[in-house]
Structure 1
Amino acid sequence: MATVEGLDHHFRFLVLAVETQAHATRRYLLDPGRKGLAKLHAREEYIDNLKTVVDNECIGAIHGDGSLPRDRLNRLRAIQGIVMGLERIGDCFVRVLRQSEHLSCPDLQAITDVEAAFSAISRGLAPIQRALLKGKVEGGLAICRVETVLNRIYAEGSHRVMGALEGGGNPRHLIPALCILQELERVGGEILIIGEAILFSILGEHIKVGQFEALQKTLSKSGVSNSVEGIDYRAIDGTRSGCRIGKVKGPGVVPEAQSRIYKEGPLEKMRRERANNSRWQACCPGLVPDVYSFHTEGEKASLLLEYLPGDTLDEVIRSAGDAEVQSAFDSLERTLLAIWDRTCVAAPGATDYIPQVQARLADVLAVHPAFFRESTSVGHATAHSMGELLSRCAAIEKGLQAPVSVFIHGDFNTSNVVYNHATDHVHFIDLHRSRDFDYVQDASVFLVSLFRLPMFNTRCRHRINRGIDRFYKVFRVFSEQHKDASFSGRLALALARSFYTSTRFELNADFARSMHNRAIFLLEKVQDFDDRNWSVFRFPEEILFY
C-alpha cells in the first residue's frame, strides 16, 4: 500500500519535472542553435512514468482505506486531476518542440512573445505544491487566472499569423507558429483545470473559477463576506434547471439559519427569477426566499437567496412519518388555494400544453428511441404517428380556453416545495417559470411529480396515491367553484404533456413506458372525443395511480 510520504514525494517530483520541461522548452525555443532536443523527449517519458506512479498511489490510498476523512479523500481526488493535467502539459511541450523544427527562433519571436508566455506558465506551475499544501483559495484562483493571460497571448499571436498569411507570408513558417500558439493555449486550459482541482481540494465541491468569482462578488454585494477564504460552499445535487445551485456560508457563520442559497445560470433566466421573486413577495409575503443580491457577468447572472429551513416535499413523502406527511399536505392545500383565490382573474386564455410536448419530443426520443411511433392501420382503424396525434390535439386545444388564470409556480414539482415542520408552513423555490396562466398547468405537474416518485413498495405507493387522490379532488372542486366546463379536457392534455415529457428523466424502462402509455391514452381520448361539449368529457381518474 502506498504511504502518504511516498505519494507526496512522487507528486513533488512530478511537478518539478514539468516545471523543468517548461524551462527547457523556453530555452530551446529562444536558442538559435536549438540544442538538447533528445534530452527534452526523454524527459517526457519520465513525466509519463511519474504520472502513472502517483495515479496508482492515489487509487491505492483511496481504495485501501475505507475510513479516509473527507478532506483527505478530496485531496487525493484533486491530486489525480492535477497529475493528469501535468501529463497533458508535458505532451503539449513535446508538440511545441516538433512544430518548432519548421521555423527559426526569430520567426517565432516575430509572432509571439515567448518569454511572456512561459513566464505565465511558470506562474501557473510553480505555486501548485504550495497552494495544495496550504489550502488557500486565493492560491488556487491565482493559478486559474494564468489561463486568461495565455488566451490573450494566443489571440494576439493568431491575429498576427492570419494577417501575415493574408499579406502573402510563408505558410511553411506561419502554420507551425500558429500550431505552437494553440499548444500554449492548451497549456493554459490544463493549468485552469489544475487550479480548479486545487479549489476542489479546499472546498470539497467542483466549481469553475468563473462561477467561484461570481459567488465571491455576489457574497460581497450582500455583505456576507469580502474574503474568499473560509467560504463554505456545498452544491445541491439533483437540479435539472440548468443552473448551478449551492448552499453557502461566509467565514465564521455557524447557525444553519444564516446560510444562503447561491444560484447561477443564464442571464435571462436569473432575471425572470428575480422579477418573479419580487412579485411573489408582494403577493404572498414569506412564501418564497428573499433575494439578498443579484450579480451579472456577461451572459450569466447569479442570485444570493435566503436559505429556507425544512425539507422538500418529495423528501418528506419519502422519509417522514404519516402525521408529518399529512401536515405537509394540509399546509400545501391551504397555501395553494389561498394563492389561487388571491390571484384568480376571470379572463379566458389560450393554453400551450401540446406545443410544450412538441418542443421536447426530440429530447424524449433521445432517451427512449423506442417511443418513436409511425402511423399504422388495421382495416378501417388507424393509429396515428406521434407527430400526427400531437397535431390533431394541438388543433383541439385551440378551442379549449381556460376560463380563469392564476399566478402559477410554473414548475410545480414536489422538489420545488419546501415544508418547515417547526412552523407548519410551505415555501416555493425555483420560480423562473412563474406566470399568469391556467391553474391546470401547476395541477398536472404536481400530480405527475407525485406519480413519478421512485417509491414502489406497497406502503410508500399507498402514501403517494393518497396524495394524488387528495389533490386531484382539490383541483376538481376549484374548477367547479369557478364553473370551469373544460377542466377535464385541459387536464387530460396537461397530464399527457407532463407524463410524456417526464420520461426523458426516467431510465427505468418499464416505469417510463407506463408514463408514455398514459400520455398516449390521454391524447387519443381527447382526439376521439366527438362531442365538443367538454363539460361531459369523462376524465379517467384511474390513470393517475400506479
Structure 2
Amino acid sequence: MTNIPKTIRENLHFLCAEIDGQLLQLEAFFKEPTAATARRIMDRAGYAHNLKTRIHTACLYQMGTAKKQNRKKLTLRSLEFIATDLQRLANLCRQCLRHVERIDQFSTLVPERYPALVTNVRTGVGKVEEALVKSDSETAISIGQQQDRIEAGYKKLFKTYTDEMRNPDKAPADIANSLLVASEFRRMGDSLKSISEALISANIGQAVNFERYFSLQNLMSDLEATGSDLKIETIAETRSGSSISAIRDRKTEAVAAVFKDGEKSKVKEERQGVESWHSIYPGLAPKILAYQKRNQSAALLIEHLPGLTFEHIVLNESDALCTQALRTLSKTLKDVWKQTKTKEPAGLGSMQQLSKRLGEVRRVHPEFRDSEINFAGARLTSLDKLIEKAAEREAHVAAPFSVYIHGDFNIDNIIFDPGENRIHFIDLHRSRYMDYVQDVSVFMVSNYRLQVLEQETRQRINTVSQAFFTSVRNFARKQGDATFEFRLALGLARSFATSTRFIFDKSHARRMWLRAQYLIEQALNCPLGDEARFRLRIKEIFVD
C-alpha cells in the first residue's frame, strides 16, 4: 500500500480509539442503563466528526499532489471511505440510545443480547489499523465477516421481537423501538463491510466489493503468473453496472487478461454471446479463460485482444489507418452477414424501442417533453403520435432475411488489430439473429454522438458514417433488400433519440433529437407501399 501521510495515520488512530470508546460505553449501557453513560456517548458526537473531517481534508490535499491515475489516489479515497464509515458507527450508537429512550419497559429490548453484538463491532474496528498498515487483505476480510455474525444476531432478535408482538402484556411501541435498535446494529455491520472493501481496494489497487474480490482471486489463479506478479487497473465501467479491468504483468506491463464482473444474469449473457460467436464465426470474439459465479454476481476472465478500439482510431489515428479499419470492418460484417443469413424475415421494432426509452430520455432532458405545437394556426402532430404512427408502418416492413448481429454495435465495442488487419468484437451479451439495420444504425450514431467540437475530427466522423452507409447499402442491394433505407431511417431515429440520454451537452443533444424527429417525419411522408423507393439523405443528416 502507498505510504500513509503521518497526519492521516494519526487522526485515523484517534478516530478508531474514539469509536472503540463509544462502543465500550454502549456495551456498558446495555449491561446497566444509566443516564450518565448515555450522556457520555451523546456528548462525544463532535470529536468523531472533527477527526473524520481532518482525515478528509488531509486526503483532499494529498490527492492534489498525486499524479493522474496514481495508486496513491485510490488509497486516499479508500481512507476517506473508512473515516466516513467509522464516524457513521458513532452516529449509529447515538441512534440506538434515541430508540432506547422511547422504550418504557427496558426488558422488552432483551438487553443481555446486545453486548455480544457490540463486541462484534469492536472486533472489526480494532482490526482497521492493522489491516491498513500491514496491507493485510486477510485481516480486511475478517472485518467484513463480522457483518455475518451481526446479521445472525439481528435475525435472532427479530424473531424474538416479532414473537413478542403476540404478547398482550407487551407495548407495541416498545417492540417497534426495540426493532429499530436491532436495525441500527445491522447498519453497523454494513459499515464494517464497507470499511473492509475500502481496505481491500487500497491493498490491490482496484476498487472492489466483497463479491468482486473473491471472484478476482479465484479467476487470477487460472493465470500462469502468480498474484504478486500481476496488477489490476480499471478499463471501463459499463452503464449496465459491470466493471472491466485489465490484469497486467508487473514486469512486462503486458495485459495478461481482461476481468469483467457484474450482475450474474448480465455476465451469463456475455458468456453465452461469446460462445455463440465462437460457434458461428470463430476468431471474431475473445476467448473465455475462466468463469466464476458467486451469489448474485459473476465474473469472466477474458483473453486480451491486441489492437485499438474503433473510437480511438476515429479520434486519434491517421486518416490512412481510419480508412483501413473501416474497410476491414465493412468486409468482415458482410462476410458475417452472408455466412449467418437465414430466410427468416426480421422485424426491427425500433419505434417500440424508442417508445419504451422516452421516459429515460426525458428524465435527462425534460425539455424534450411532448407538447402540442401550433404553427401559423395549424396544430402539428406531436412526436409521441409520430412514433405511434411510425411503429404501425414499421410493423409491416420487415427485413427479408435475418443475420447474426452484435446487438450493441457502438464503436468502443469494435477492436481493430492493424498488424493482423483483423476485426474483433467485445461486449456481446445482446448478440442474436435480427435485422442487421439494428447494428448499422447504432454504429453510425455512436460515431455522430462523439462529443468533440474540433472541425477536422467532426469531418472525419461524418466521412466514416457516410462511407459506412454506402458500403452497407451496396450489400443490401445485392441481397435484394429493397426497404433497407426506409428501415434505416427509423433505426437511426431510434438511435439518435435514445442516445441523448448519455449526452449532457444540451445543444448536441438537441441536434440529435431534431434529427430523430426529422427522420420519422420523412419515413411517414413516404406513401404507403412505396417504402422500397424511399431514399435517405445521409449527407444532410450527418453534417453539422
TM-score range, shorter chain: over 0.9
Following the alignment from structure 2 to structure 1, what is the Cα–Cα distance between the partners of residues 313 and 69?
30
Give CA-to-partner distance per residue, 1:273-292, whole Å, 9 cap, x none. Answer: 21221121122222111112
Structure 2 residue 23 is matched with structure 1 residue 22: yes
**Relative to structure 2, which stretch is displaced further, 50-59 or 527-536?**
50-59
On the 8 A contact 1:375/1:382 being kept in 2, the answer is yes
User: Structure 1 residue aligned with 2:396, among 399, 404, 407?
Assistant: 399
Give the Å deviation of 1:60. 3.5
Give the Å deviation of 1:224. 6.0
On the 8 A contact 2:236/2:243 being kept in 1, the answer is no
User: For the structure 1 residues 6 and 177, does the alpha-carbon distance in structure 2 shift closer, same or farther, using more than 3 Å as the test?
Assistant: same
Gaps of 5+ in 2: none
User: For the structure 1 residues 52 and 511, does the alpha-carbon distance in structure 2 shift closer, same or farther, using more than 3 Å as the test?
Assistant: closer
For residue 248 of structure 1, what is the aligned residue in structure 2? 247
For residue 91 of structure 1, what is the aligned residue in structure 2? 91
In the superposition, the TM-score normalised over structure 2's length comes to 0.92
Structure 2 residue 478 is matched with structure 1 residue 481: yes
For residue 53 of structure 2, what is the aligned residue in structure 1? 52
For residue 514 of structure 1, what is the aligned residue in structure 2? 511
Following the alignment from structure 1 to structure 2, what is the Cα–Cα distance between the partners of residues 285 and 255?
29
Give the Å deviation of 1:78. 2.1
User: For the structure 1 residues 105 and 289, does the alpha-carbon distance in structure 2 shift closer, same or farther, using more than 3 Å as the test?
Assistant: same
Following the alignment from structure 1 to structure 2, what is the Cα–Cα distance between the partners of residues 538 and 172?
72
Give the Å deviation of 1:351. 2.1
**Relative to structure 2, which stretch is displaced further, 51-60 or 311-320?**
51-60
Give CA-to-partner distance per residue, 1:80-124, whole Å, 9 cap, x none. Answer: 2212211111111122233334366654336x7223312211221
Following the alignment from structure 2 to structure 1, what is the Cα–Cα distance between the partners of residues 439 and 400?
15
User: For the structure 1 residues 340 and 28, does the alpha-carbon distance in structure 2 shift closer, same or farther, using more than 3 Å as the test?
Assistant: same
Give CA-to-partner distance per residue, 1:109-141, whole Å, 9 cap, x none. Answer: 36x722331221122101101111111222222
**Relative to structure 2, which stretch is displaced further, 426-435 or 200-209?**
200-209
**Local SS of the residue matching 1:302:** strand
Give the Å deviation of 1:340. 1.2
**Local SS of the residue matching 1:286:** coil
Structure 2 residue 534 is matched with structure 1 residue 533: no
On the 8 A contact 2:237/2:243 being kept in 1, the answer is no
Following the alignment from structure 1 to structure 2, what is the Cα–Cα distance between the partners of residues 378 and 106?
74
- The aligned amino acid for 1:161 is Y
Following the alignment from structure 2 to structure 1, what is the Cα–Cα distance between the partners of residues 278 and 251?
27
On the 8 A contact 2:30/2:115 being kept in 1, the answer is no
For residue 272 of structure 2, what is the aligned residue in structure 1? 275
Structure 2 residue 542 is matched with structure 1 residue 544: yes
- The aligned amino acid for 2:490 is L
User: For the structure 1 residues 183 and 531, does the alpha-carbon distance in structure 2 shift closer, same or farther, using more than 3 Å as the test?
Assistant: closer
For residue 326 of structure 2, what is the aligned residue in structure 1? 329
**Local SS of the residue matching 1:166:** coil
Following the alignment from structure 2 to structure 1, what is the Cα–Cα distance between the partners of residues 51 and 132?
18
For residue 192 of structure 2, what is the aligned residue in structure 1? 191
Aligned ranges 1:391-470 → 2 under 5 Å: 391-470=388-467
User: For the structure 1 residues 404 and 144, does the alpha-carbon distance in structure 2 shift closer, same or farther, using more than 3 Å as the test?
Assistant: same
Following the alignment from structure 1 to structure 2, what is the Cα–Cα distance between the partners of residues 131 and 116?
23
For residue 140 of structure 2, what is the aligned residue in structure 1? 140
User: For the structure 1 residues 540 and 6, does the alpha-carbon distance in structure 2 shift closer, same or farther, using more than 3 Å as the test?
Assistant: closer
Structure 2 residue 74 is matched with structure 1 residue 74: yes
Give the Å deviation of 1:67. 5.9
User: For the structure 1 residues 126 and 383, does the alpha-carbon distance in structure 2 shift closer, same or farther, using more than 3 Å as the test?
Assistant: same
Aligned ranges 1:255-334 → 2 under 5 Å: 255=252, 259-334=256-331
User: For the structure 1 residues 339 and 368, does the alpha-carbon distance in structure 2 shift closer, same or farther, using more than 3 Å as the test?
Assistant: same
Give the Å deviation of 1:534. 1.8
Following the alignment from structure 2 to structure 1, what is the Cα–Cα distance between the partners of residues 235 and 68?
23
Following the alignment from structure 1 to structure 2, what is the Cα–Cα distance between the partners of residues 518 and 69?
38
Following the alignment from structure 1 to structure 2, what is the Cα–Cα distance between the partners of residues 544 and 286?
33
For residue 180 of structure 1, what is the aligned residue in structure 2? 181
Following the alignment from structure 1 to structure 2, what is the Cα–Cα distance between the partners of residues 354 and 492?
11
**Local SS of the residue matching 2:290:** strand
**Relative to structure 2, which stretch is displaced further, 186-195 or 36-45?**
36-45
On the 8 A contact 2:66/2:72 being kept in 1, the answer is no
- The aligned amino acid for 2:26 is T
**Relative to structure 2, which stretch is displaced further, 336-345 or 167-176?**
167-176
Give the Å deviation of 1:176. 2.7
**Relative to structure 2, which stretch is displaced further, 384-393 or 297-306?**
297-306
Following the alignment from structure 1 to structure 2, what is the Cα–Cα distance between the partners of residues 348 and 48?
65
Structure 2 residue 118 is matched with structure 1 residue 118: yes
User: For the structure 1 residues 262 and 189, does the alpha-carbon distance in structure 2 shift closer, same or farther, using more than 3 Å as the test?
Assistant: same
**Local SS of the residue matching 2:244:** strand
Following the alignment from structure 2 to structure 1, what is the Cα–Cα distance between the partners of residues 28 and 331?
74
Following the alignment from structure 1 to structure 2, what is the Cα–Cα distance between the partners of residues 219 and 290?
15
User: For the structure 1 residues 191 and 538, does the alpha-carbon distance in structure 2 shift closer, same or farther, using more than 3 Å as the test?
Assistant: same
- The aligned amino acid for 1:134 is K
**Local SS of the residue matching 1:423:** coil
Following the alignment from structure 1 to structure 2, what is the Cα–Cα distance between the partners of residues 521 and 359?
20
Give the Å deviation of 1:179. 1.8
- The aligned amino acid for 1:88 is R
For residue 201 of structure 1, what is the aligned residue in structure 2? 202
Give the Å deviation of 1:13. 1.3
In the superposition, the TM-score normalised over structure 1's length comes to 0.92
**Local SS of the residue matching 1:404:** coil
- The aligned amino acid for 2:317 is A
User: For the structure 1 residues 424 and 184, does the alpha-carbon distance in structure 2 shift closer, same or farther, using more than 3 Å as the test?
Assistant: same
User: For the structure 1 residues 514 and 238, does the alpha-carbon distance in structure 2 shift closer, same or farther, using more than 3 Å as the test?
Assistant: farther
Following the alignment from structure 1 to structure 2, what is the Cα–Cα distance between the partners of residues 506 and 30?
57
Following the alignment from structure 2 to structure 1, what is the Cα–Cα distance between the partners of residues 250 and 54?
41
On the 8 A contact 1:409/1:435 being kept in 2, the answer is yes
Give the Å deviation of 1:435. 0.7
Gaps of 5+ in 1: none
On the 8 A contact 2:74/2:205 being kept in 1, the answer is yes
Following the alignment from structure 2 to structure 1, what is the Cα–Cα distance between the partners of residues 471 and 356?
30
Following the alignment from structure 1 to structure 2, what is the Cα–Cα distance between the partners of residues 457 and 253?
37
**Local SS of the residue matching 1:247:** strand
Following the alignment from structure 2 to structure 1, what is the Cα–Cα distance between the partners of residues 68 and 311?
32
Two-structure CA RMSD over aligned residues (Å): 2.5
Following the alignment from structure 1 to structure 2, what is the Cα–Cα distance between the partners of residues 336 and 442?
10
Following the alignment from structure 2 to structure 1, what is the Cα–Cα distance between the partners of residues 127 and 490?
59
On the 8 A contact 2:274/2:285 being kept in 1, the answer is yes
Structure 2 residue 162 is matched with structure 1 residue 162: yes
- The aligned amino acid for 2:55 is V
Following the alignment from structure 2 to structure 1, what is the Cα–Cα distance between the partners of residues 366 and 208?
33
Structure 2 residue 348 is matched with structure 1 residue 347: no
Following the alignment from structure 2 to structure 1, what is the Cα–Cα distance between the partners of residues 333 and 467?
13
On the 8 A contact 2:229/2:251 being kept in 1, the answer is no
- The aligned amino acid for 1:116 is A
User: For the structure 1 residues 14 and 230, does the alpha-carbon distance in structure 2 shift closer, same or farther, using more than 3 Å as the test?
Assistant: farther
Give the Å deviation of 1:513. 0.7
Give the Å deviation of 1:484. 0.9
